[in-house]
């Protein structure tokens, strides 16, 4: 029987000796490794925070004392100590316990959290409510150094400093974001580490916090001693703990970026470099080619280079033509706007779920200024993701902002033609929704002039029913077309709209002549999306319109097939609907 076997709630931690807690650390590490190797998930940050989590539960009394975990990348040990260890030890339970903080799993979690830089702001709200109700307990926000670069974190720190009451912020400094950190703040963290917290420059003290440094953030005794000092404190304090990302699993200690998050099956495996071309690889080729031509291209990421396979090799080759701004999507957009306005050629890559961290900058800094930057949106589409990482909202978000051109290519040739056009033009902010899945090639170069906005492409001219199939769902459109032919003898028109931000009025008007039904397919939320614009266009006509996409909802790890059923995104179901309409 391991020590972990005996832990069913934080109370059980309080009875352990230091030696037992050290053994427990190893039990927890084994369990983290097992789950991530079996099931995938966050590895490095969880391995680094094991001792601190044990010490937190030893010193504080959760759930009365409330601990908020930023971004949840380091929440596994907490889950194991709060009644959810089976989600790590028992493969059948992997899907029952999510990788993120979630109050529906446990009273020890206070929010559903999956985006970064939110913990201090949320905890400040908890603390202020406590004060208004004259209650007494500790409110603790645990935030990684990587998350500190996000504006919301800073806004939270600035306001937390004003609380005249208990507020404990633990800065878990493992010297890494997902990728290496960049920015002035990180030079200060470095200085603080090097001086055992004694450096004169101290950003936390500067904005009004008491400050405590713990050099060995993986030493349970040091941590307990620090936490005991500030337990029940009556003013805001920052405890800066220095931890080792990936601790206890050597490959993760060495290659921190690769093992921040990992897919299953890495133990004992060597990762083979694939030679196959992908949308990621052709994007990198495009960027390197521009750079090698000495053009003022600049590739930008906001701390998630792995999403686009912007690996160290690529980054080295790009050199000064690459910027990782850290978790700072707002800055990334404004920075791209400034670059574009001054004659450089920014290409900013963002994951769909994170582009929503920067609406006002897309609108004001970029679109209002018509800055000709290129923004690539990755992973947009319906998926079985955690509810915190859905990628279904980017079309409603982006496509209703004036001046922006949002393109949805359906194959390699279109994608590269759009990218080349966007890169060279000087009139519009252009977003491109990078196709999901494997590279699809037609073999025929795309010679479209994309400066003629909102011109849809008729892939096949039929009659009666027109299928407007955007981006990732172009394939589904083809399937529906086939099914209509086979099951209903209808020779449908197939249209690739390519533009998500406007409608081809001429073409749509033309369809009225010999079509009765138009269906729209988009891989994202219908509400506020692409298809509704077409429904509106036909509102005063006889044309029937059916819009397909995802419902307005936060789906949580629902299998894709189930979602496709729910949203009727299958050829048989769509053909059923069409037949009913005719």
Q: How far is the CB of 176 from a copy of itself (least distance, A)?
A: 16
- String of DSSP letters for 221-272: HHHHHHHHHHTT-SSEEEEEEE--TTTT-HHHHHSTTTTSEE-S--TTPPPP
Q: Which residue has the tokens 């906001």?
A: 302
Question: Which residue number, 24 or 563, has a Cβ lying nearer to a copy of itself?
Answer: 563
Rounded to an integer, what distance in angstroms lies between the CA atom of residue 455 and that of residue 498? 8
Q: How far is the CB of 204 from a copy of itself (least distance, A)?
A: 9
Rounded to an integer, what distance in angstroms lies between the CA atom of residue 437 and that of residue 2? 43
On whether the CB atoms of residues 563 and 525 are closer than 8 A, the answer is no
Question: Which residue number, 159 or 281, has a Cβ lying nearer to a copy of itself?
Answer: 159
Q: How far is the CB of 311 from a copy of itself (least distance, A)?
A: 21
Q: How far is the CB of 99 from a copy of itself (least distance, A)?
A: 15
Question: Which residue number, 15 or 384, has a Cβ lying nearer to a copy of itself?
Answer: 384
Q: How far is the CB of 131 from a copy of itself (least distance, A)?
A: 7
Question: Which residue number, 339 or 563, has a Cβ lying nearer to a copy of itself?
Answer: 339
Q: How far is the CB of 502 from a copy of itself (least distance, A)?
A: 8
Peptide bond before residue 63 is cis, with ω within 30 degrees of 0: yes
Q: How far is the CB of 518 from a copy of itself (least distance, A)?
A: 9
- Residue 377 in 3-state DSSP? strand
Tokens standing for 300?
A: 């930008």
Rounded to an integer, what distance in angstroms lies between the CA atom of residue 258 and that of residue 266? 11
Q: Pick from 186, 201, 202, 168: which is nearest to 52 by CA?
A: 168
Q: How far is the CB of 316 from a copy of itself (least distance, A)?
A: 17
Q: What is the maximum span of the chain, computed from C-alpha positions, in angstroms?
A: 82
DSSP 8-state assignment for residue 499: B
Q: Which residues have CB under 8 Å from 15's CB, separation 6+?
A: none
Q: How far is the CB of 470 from a copy of itself (least distance, A)?
A: 15
Handedness of CA 546, 549, 552, 558 (dihedral sign): positive
Q: Which residue has the tokens 């917290």?
A: 197
Phi, psi for 287 (deg, rounded to 5): -65, -45
Handedness of CA 353, 359, 365, 366 (dihedral sign): positive
Q: Which residues have CB under 8 Å from 506's CB, separation 6+?
A: none
Question: Which residue number, 37 or 118, has a Cβ lying nearer to a copy of itself?
Answer: 118
Gyration radius of the chain over CA positions: 26
Question: Which residue number, 162 or 255, has a Cβ lying nearer to a copy of itself?
Answer: 162
Q: How far is the CB of 415 from a copy of itself (least distance, A)?
A: 25
Rounded to an integer, what distance in angstroms lies between the CA atom of residue 114 and that of residue 567? 25
Rounded to an integer, what distance in angstroms lies between the CA atom of residue 339 and that of residue 348? 11
Q: How far is the CB of 97 from a copy of itself (least distance, A)?
A: 18
Question: Which residue number, 13 or 161, has a Cβ lying nearer to a copy of itself?
Answer: 161
Tokens standing for 298?
A: 């600049």
Q: How far is the CB of 547 from a copy of itself (least distance, A)?
A: 5
Beta strands at 41-42 and 261-262: parallel, antiparallel or unpaired: antiparallel
Question: Which residue number, 217 or 326, has a Cβ lying nearer to a copy of itself?
Answer: 326
Rounded to an integer, what distance in angstroms lies between the CA atom of residue 295 and that of residue 287? 10
Rounded to an integer, what distance in angstroms lies between the CA atom of residue 518 and that of residue 536? 12
Question: Which residue number, 3 or 545, has a Cβ lying nearer to a copy of itself?
Answer: 545
- Residue 282 in 3-state DSSP? helix
């Amino acid at each position: 029987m391991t020590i972990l076997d005996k832990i069913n709630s934080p109370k059980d931690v309080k009875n352990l000796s230091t030696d037992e807690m050290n053994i427990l650390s190893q039990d927890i590490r084994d369990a983290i490794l097992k789950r991530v190797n079996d099931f995938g998930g966050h590895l490095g940050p969880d391995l680094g925070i094991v001792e601190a989590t044990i010490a937190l539960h030893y010193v504080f009394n959760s759930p009365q004392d409330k601990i908020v975990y930023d971004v949840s990348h380091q929440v596994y040990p907490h889950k194991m100590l709060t009644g959810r260890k089976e989600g790590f030890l028992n493969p059948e339970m992997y899907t029952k316990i999510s990788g993120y903080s979630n109050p529906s799993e446990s009273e020890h979690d206070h929010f559903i959290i999956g985006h970064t830089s939110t913990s201090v702001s949320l905890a400040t709200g908890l603390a202020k409510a406590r004060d208004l109700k004259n209650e007494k307990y500790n409110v603790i926000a645990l935030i990684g150094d990587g998350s500190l670069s996000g504006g919301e974190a800073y806004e939270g720190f600035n306001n937390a400093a004003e609380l005249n009451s208990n507020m404990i912020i633990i800065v878990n400094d493992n010297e890494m974001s997902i990728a290496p950190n960049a920015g002035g703040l990180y030079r200060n963290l470095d200085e603080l580490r090097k001086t055992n917290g004694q450096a004169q420059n101290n950003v936390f003290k500067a904005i009004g916090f008491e400050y405590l440094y713990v050099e060995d953030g993986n030493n349970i005794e040091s941590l307990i001693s620090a936490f005991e000092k500030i337990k029940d404190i009556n003013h805001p304090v920052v405890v800066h703990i220095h931890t080792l990302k990936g601790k206890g699993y050597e490959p993760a200690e060495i290659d921190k970026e690769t093992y921040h998050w990992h897919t299953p099956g890495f133990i004992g495996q060597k990762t083979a470099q694939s030679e196959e071309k992908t949308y990621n690889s052709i994007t990198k080729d495009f960027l390197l080619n521009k750079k090698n031509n000495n053009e003022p291209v600049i590739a930008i990421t906001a701390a998630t280079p792995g999403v686009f396979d912007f690996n160290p090799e690529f980054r080295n080759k790009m050199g000064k033509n690459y910027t990782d701004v850290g978790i700072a999507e707002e800055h990334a957009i404004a920075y791209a706007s400034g670059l574009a306005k001054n004659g450089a050629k920014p290409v900013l890559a963002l994951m769909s779920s994170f582009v929503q961290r920067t609406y006002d900058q897309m609108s004001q800094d970029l679109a209002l200024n018509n800055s000709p930057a290129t923004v690539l949106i990755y992973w947009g589409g319906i998926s079985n993701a955690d509810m915190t990482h859905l990628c279904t909202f980017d079309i409603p978000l982006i496509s209703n902002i004036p001046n922006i051109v949002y393109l949805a290519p359906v194959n390699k040739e279109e994608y590269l033609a759009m990218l080349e056009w966007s890169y060279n033009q000087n009139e519009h902010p252009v977003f491109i929704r990078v196709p999901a899945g494997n590279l699809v090639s037609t073999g025929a170069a795309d010679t479209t002039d994309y400066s003629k906005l909102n011109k849809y492409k008729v892939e096949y001219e039929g009659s009666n029913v027109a299928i407007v199939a955007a981006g990732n769902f172009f394939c589904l459109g083809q399937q529906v077309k086939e099914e209509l032919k086979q099951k209903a003898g209808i020779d449908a028109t197939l249209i690739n709209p390519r533009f998500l931000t406007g409608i081809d009025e001429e073409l749509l008007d033309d369809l009225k002549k010999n079509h009765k039904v138009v269906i729209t397919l988009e891989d994202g939320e219908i509400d506020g999306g692409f298809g509704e614009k077409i429904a509106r266009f036909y509102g005063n006509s006889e044309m029937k319109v059916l819009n397909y996409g995802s419902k307005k909802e936060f789906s949580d790890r629902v299998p894709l097939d189930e979602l496709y059923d729910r949203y009727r995104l299958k050829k048989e179901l769509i053909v059923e609907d069409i037949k009913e309409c005719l």
